[in-house]
Structures are given as structure tokens and as C-alpha cells.
Structure 1
Amino acid sequence: MTIHVVGGVYREYCVHPRWYDVFGSAGRAALAIATTGSPVVLHSYTVEATLGVISEKAAWLDCFEIASTPVKGEVSFKYLHDMAVPEVVGVPEVPHAPIRVTQQKVLRFGMLEGDAVVNANWAVYDPQNSRGATPFRANGSKAAHLALVLNSWEATQLTSMPGASPESIASILARQENAEVVVIKMGPRGAFVWTAAGTAQVPAYRTNRVWKIGSGDCFVAHFANAWMHDGLSPAEAADVASRATAYYCETRGFATKENLSACSFSPVALSVEYLAGRQPQVYLAGPFFDLMQIWMVEQAQANLQDLGLKVFSPYHDVGLGSADDVVAKDLAAIVESDIVFAITDGLDAGTVYEIGYARALGKPVVVYSERQHSEHLKMMEGSDCTICTDYTTALYSTLWEAVKL
């Protein structure tokens, strides 16, 4: 039976890595579901240009249809890099009239330019919305069988329960929304799956490269398809979604069922200490002698913290000074840290020394370098540093190494 996907179709820009396309949450999810062979109808607000791009993508898929609601202005997301907070352009001051969908199976996303009122037998709801998460039933939507898929921040916002356990939050959400299933995405911990019959923890999977834009859309799309169309249990559906998301992060492509059968991703390893609440510390090594270098250090500090890591940054925590002022403090921080994230473009002497000092102590080091020839990184490679040429991959490699210590 057809899955009806309702949500945003948006234009997406990313400066680096370069990305310019039309997807949005609903557009990407509908294409991901159709790629598995399941029939899909996409319901969205579109302008002529975005409808044309999505129609071209749909032309390759026999099971994909579009139910467009024409509007005059398009919404765009502009990213400096794929871990950056986007600039959102084109959101109308007055929201468009709601899209109404009455069907057996519906995947609904939160939207910026309007809303979707759903009446379904089976429904999956992802409240993603930069203005704040909204309950499924707040606009009059109805579903006999409802699954909520949301991240930890959205779950906390909807329940006003910061610091509560996932099980407590999920049970509250289920009661508030009369939901049969609640899936809370928890970063490296994977996904927590709640049903009245019990709970399950589904792992996140490690990849060789990471592309973040749209990864959450792929998760909910594959969950919805596996649960509503293929009839898998919520935990089984969440595991399919987690593996399909890993495929998307590594390839920027949508997985077929054959792709998923052929792929073998390893779960992210989690130490007992991390699961008990310990926050790993990262030493942020890198030069900070001009504006470009300082900007990069600022970005890395913020992004590592957003991933849930404690960050020691010499620039922020020690500052500039003489050798007598800074060296002992920096080296002591390397000893106290669990892992080093090193920005090595330019091969700053201090950063190279910090890498060597950390490796001599047996500390894992993730090296982020886009411009250096492999010959210049030979000592780092030969001393078992993890070398990454992509910024987001370097950040996630640091996270995955840290949480297993």
C-alpha cells in the first residue's frame, strides 16, 4: 500500500563540501522510500522550479507520484559546511493554508512555510522544525496507529523534562500523543525504541565518511517504510533505518534493499564508562595566529561540544603567552584528555609537537587535513593517527573514538 509523505521540499546550498540541490525533508524521504521499491506520493508546497527538479528525480522511479500545492515563494537552506547551523531564507510571514491528507499510511514532517493536517490509519511523525517541535495532534491530526520519531532535543522540548531518562520521556510522549511507538535518536548511542510491550536500544553505525545534511530525513523515511509497509517490529524498523542512514552518510545516496543486504557497518562501540554518564574530553590542537585559524578553532570547539564532548582548547582555556606561561598547561591538558583532535593544515610546529606528545602517551589522535600532501603526514599516519580530509568525518571519528574509551 502507498505511503503518503507530507512535508517540505526545499532548496539546499552548502559551500563546502559543495552541495546545491532540491530535497527538503519530505522530498528526500519520499525519494528514499521509493528507492526501496515502495510506492510513494509526495505532498508538499512547491514553486515551479522546485517542482521541476523533484519531478525529474521522480521520473526515474515508477512508484513515485507528486501531489503539489503551488505557492509563490520557495524556502532555501544555506550551509557554510554540513555541520553548520543553516541560514533559512524565504519563510513566509503568513503561513500557507494547511495541506490536508487523508490516507491509510502517512509520514508527516513539521514544516516552516505551513502545516499538514493528517487523518490516517497508520502515521509516522517527525516534528523537525527550527522554530520548535509541535505535537502531532495539536493541529487536529489523527492516527489510529502513531509512531513518533524525534531527536533528544525535540523529545525534551515536548516534555519539558531535561535530564530525564529516555524511557521516562518516551512514556510521557506516548501518553500525551496516544502513540504506540516512540523512537528517540540519541547520537552515538543510537536510537531508543519505546512500545507498551517493552523497550529496545538500536545502535548507530560507524562509516568511513560522514555527510550530515538530510541524514535525519533518511532515518525516519526508512523507519516509516519498514514499519508501515514491510510490517517489521518497531525495533527492527529502527535498525533498518539506522543502517540506511549510515549508507546515506557514507555515499550521499539512497539505499536499495539490495544495498542494505550487501553492506556491513559496525555498530559504534560504547564504553561502560560512557554509558554510565562519563563525558570524554578532547584536546583541540591547532594554530590560532590569524583570523582564519581562530575561526577554525572556534568552529571545531563548538561542533565538538555539540556532539556531547568536553573540549580543552588552548586558545580558549590558556590563551597566548610565553613558553613559560602556556607550555606546561597545554601538556598537562593533553595528559588529562582522552583524545586529541588536531587541525594540521599549515603544519604548525606546536600542533605537530602536541600530536607527537599525545601519541607518546598512547592517546588516540584524529588529524584533520584538507591541503597537506600525504608525504607531509607520513609520521602521523605511521604512528596510527586517524587521518581525515573531510571536516565532518574528522569530528565524528573523534566522537566515535572517544565514546569507546
Structure 2
Amino acid sequence: MLTIVGGIYREVCLRPQWDEVYGSAGRAASAVVKLGGEVELTGYLDAGLLPIVQARAAEEGFGLSATELPRSAAFFYTHGLSVPNIRWPERQPDLHVKAEKVLRFGMLEGTAVIDAEYAVFDPQNVMGPEAFAKNGSKAKHLALVLNLYEAVQLLDGVRQEPAEIAKRLAQEQGAEVVVLKMGPKGALVYHQDKHHLVPAYSTSRVWKIGSGDQFAANFAYAWMEEGREPVVAAERASRATAFYAQHRRYPSPEELDAFAPAPLQVSDKYKDGYVPTVYLAGPFFTLGQLWVIEQARNCLRDMGLNVFSPYHDVGHGPADRVVRQDVDGIHKSDVILAVGDGLDSGTIFEVGYARARGIPVVFYAENESQEDLKMMEGTDCFLRDDFVSAIYQTVWAAVSA
């Protein structure tokens, strides 16, 4: 039996359309049950969401221990990489959970005090992650699963090499295992004073919302319930996350065993600290066009890339002023992200120019026909019809160049 405690929230996304009640703990419960595990889900729920989760528990076969609160949290996204508008809940009394094996997530509405033999903790808070034991939680065997930014925050902002960060966290937090998620570089697993790298995997589509929950759930199940070594558990979690990103659902054990996505290959210069540059091509003559350009630029920069944007870095102007600067920007870029809806002539020229020079191109278009995309397909552009998938493909192409 795996006890899962954490947030159970409503999630709404405009594109792709999504309106479900999951949250970190709710999603983890469904994922583990799909793997064949027994689950007790523990969290806060308001009167509106309770019957929805009760119905899912009955259908999927997990136990539910819900503490009522006036209003549950909700997350509203424009797209999977947008900063959500959060409906914040009121702070609630602490939950107290005593069980043999616990997966604990950080929560918005309170905290869970854990007493366990084995525990996996994902703080789920980039603003101010909480140390596992700060609220009185204890576990004889503790694994931390967190991203690199959260890890740095737990170490008071001190930046070091990932292996040293993981070692310090293990020592200071009393963790037997530390799993640091590092984006395209994969995950670093620290255990028994050794560290190992587990690859991230590429997919043709990326459903981002809840992908971190999927990783934590699969690691917890593999490590605590199946008794797998931490490195093996982390590798399965990475593949399960890729499956979830590709299919927007949870794999069965048979599906996970058979799933063999391509590991991301990052360049040596990227490993050594090189920051790739993306040329952001696309029309910027209407408010809608500008909004997409601004969203893409922000997402790419948030993922640690440099962005050359003709709108931001050159601006409008006559050909004798802007064209040379734009072309120079292409020369200095590692990859092109082209916003293709509307088939703007300038964007199409930039795509052709870049491919003639051997520069990878990700072509994002939702509303263009296969016939109109023929030249892009025939010159080996990456064609994506989903915004988040296009952003991730751009990042992957940039870090492997």
C-alpha cells in the first residue's frame, strides 16, 4: 500500500482544452493504480470536488481520505507553459499521516506531517520549497525528488555543481536518495555517496501539466513498492514521464516496459555551459501575432536559452535597415522557431534561408494544410501543431546542436 498525500485541485487549460480534477496527489494516485499499485489518497477537498474524486476512486480502485475545506485551489492556464492564474485556498490545519510508505507533495492549503518507514518527498514549490522535516515529518528512509531550482532554494540560493548540490541536500535533509531533475540534461540520482545520470527523453508531443507529478509517482512506486534500485526507479520514472507527455495518459506496466523513446542527446558545449540562441521568426503585425511571439520568447528564455527576436531586437523599418540585421541574427543562431500560421512571406524566407545554411528549424502551425507545409516537411523541418510541443522541440534542437 502506498499512501499519497498532497494537493487535489481543479486544472483548466484553454489550449489544448483540459478541465479535470487532479492536482499532484490526485494525478499520482491514478498513475500508481494504473501500474497495479494499491493507493490511499489523502488531501483536502471542498464539497464541489469531493464527489468527483470519490467517483474516480471507486472507478479506478484507490482509497480516499479527504479533509473538508471551504474552497479547493484551482489552476487556470492559457497553455501548458503559461503562468497559471491560481485560485488560492484558505490555510488549513496540518494533516497527520502515519503509514509505512508515503509519497508526499507540497501543498497550497496546508502541510502534511509524515511518520513513515519509507517516504518520497516532492516539495512542488519553486517560490519557497519546504524542507521535509521542517514541519516535524520523519522517515527512516527518505528520497527527495525535486528540480534544480528548488534544490538551490533549499540550500539558501548557493549555486554549486549538481552532484555537490545533491550531496549537500542528502546530508542536510537526512535523505538516503536525492533525485535532481535538470531538464534536457536528464536527472541526477545521488545514492550511497555516488551519483548517476538518467536521460530525459524526447517526444513528438508534449503535455506539460502534471509531468513532474508523473515522475514522482513512478519513482515512488518503483523504489518503495517494487523495491527497485534508485537509479532504475528514476529511469523508469523518466520514461513514464515521456509516455505521459506523448499520450496525455498513464502507462500500464506492459506499456511502460515496451515504451522506448529516444534519449535526449545534449552537446558537449551545452554541458559545459554554452547557452544556445534561438531565432524567433514570425509575423508581428497584429495583437494576436504579437501575443504568440511574446509568449514564445518568454517560454524559451525561461528555459535558459538566448532568443533573437526581430520584433524585440530590430523592430519595424525599411528593408535597408532591418533585413541585414535579421539575416545576421539567423547566422548567429543555433535553431529557428518559426510561427507559421498565415504563411507570412518574411517568415517563409527566413525558414528557407536557415535550412539552406543547415540550421535546424521548428515550424509551428496549427491551421495550415499539408500541401502548404510540403516544402517545410521536405527540407526536414520539425513540424509541430501544438505550442508547447513546438517550444520543447526548439529547446531539444538547440541543446543538441
CA distance in 2, matches of 1:322, 1:391: 30
Distance 1:74 1:215 in 2: 21
Quick one: which amino acid aligns to residue 59 of structure 1?
Answer: A
Task: Give the Å deviation of 1:131.
Answer: 4.4
1:97-108 to 2 correspondences below 5 Å: 97-108=93-104
The count of residues paired between Structure 1 and Structure 2 equals: 401
Shift of 1:200: 0.4
Q: 1:356: Cα distance to partner?
A: 0.7
User: Does the CA contact (< 8 Å) of 1:161 and 1:169 recur in 2?
Assistant: no
Tell me the residue number matched to 2:39: 40
Partner of 2:92 in structure 1? 96
Aligned to 2:195: 199
Cα distance in 2 for residues equivalent to 1:79 and 1:130 = 17
The answer to whether 1:123 aligns with 2:119 is: yes
Contact 1:150 1:185 in 2 (8 A): yes
Separation in structure 1 between the aligned mates of residue 203 and residue 344 of structure 2, nearest angstrom: 29
1:60 and 2:59 equivalent?
yes
Q: Which residue of 2 aligns with 1:180?
A: 176
Distance across 1 between alignment mates of 2:331 and 2:393: 20
Output the amino acid matched with 2:29: A
Corresponding residue number in structure 1 for 2:145: 149
Residue pair 1:28, 1:217 contacting (<8 A) in 2 also: yes
CA distance in 2, matches of 1:61, 1:212: 23
SS of the residue corresponding to residue 60 of structure 1 reads helix
**Partner Cα distance (1:115, 1:17) in 2:** 31
**Native 8 Å contact 2:167 2:193 kept in 1:** no
Q: 2:393 aligns with which of 375, 386, 397?
A: 397
Aligned to 2:73: 75
Is the 1:55–1:66 Cα contact (8 Å) retained in structure 2? Answer: yes
Give 1:161 shift: 4.0
- CA distance in 2 between partners of 1:260 and 1:175 (Å): 33
Q: Which residue of 2 aligns with 1:29?
A: 28
Partners of 1:42 and 1:399 lie apart in 2 by: 35
SS in 2 for 1:205: coil
Letter in 2 for 1:37: G
Moved more, 289-298 or 158-167: 158-167
Question: Post-superposition shift, 1:196?
Answer: 2.6
Task: Give the distance between the partners of 1:76 and 1:374, measured in 2 at CA.
Answer: 38
Q: Does the CA contact (< 8 Å) of 2:341 and 2:365 recur in 1?
A: yes
Question: What displacement does 1:189 show?
Answer: 0.7
Q: Shift of residue 382 of structure 1?
A: 1.3
Change over 3 Å in CA distance of 1:167–1:400 after alignment to 2: same
**Corresponding residue to 1:190 among 151, 168, 186:** 186
1:30-79 CA-partner distances (Å, limit 9, x unpaired): 111111111110000011332211222222333x1001111121110000
Report the alpha carbon displacement of residue 199 of structure 1 after superposing the two structures with TM: 0.6
In the TM superposition, what is the alpha-carbon distance from 1:130 to its structure 2 partner? 5.5
Q: Is the contact between residue 244 and residue 251 of structure 2 (CA under 8 Å) also seen in structure 1?
A: yes
Alpha-carbon distance between aligned partners in 1 of 2:300 and 2:387, rounded to the nearest angstrom = 11
1:383 equivalenced with 2:382 (yes/no): no
Distance 2:165 2:242 in 1: 26
Structure 1 stretches lacking a partner, 5+ long: none
Within the candidate set 225, 231, 234, 1:229 is matched to: 225
Which shifted more, 101-110 or 154-163? 154-163
- 1:279 equivalent among 263, 275, 282: 275
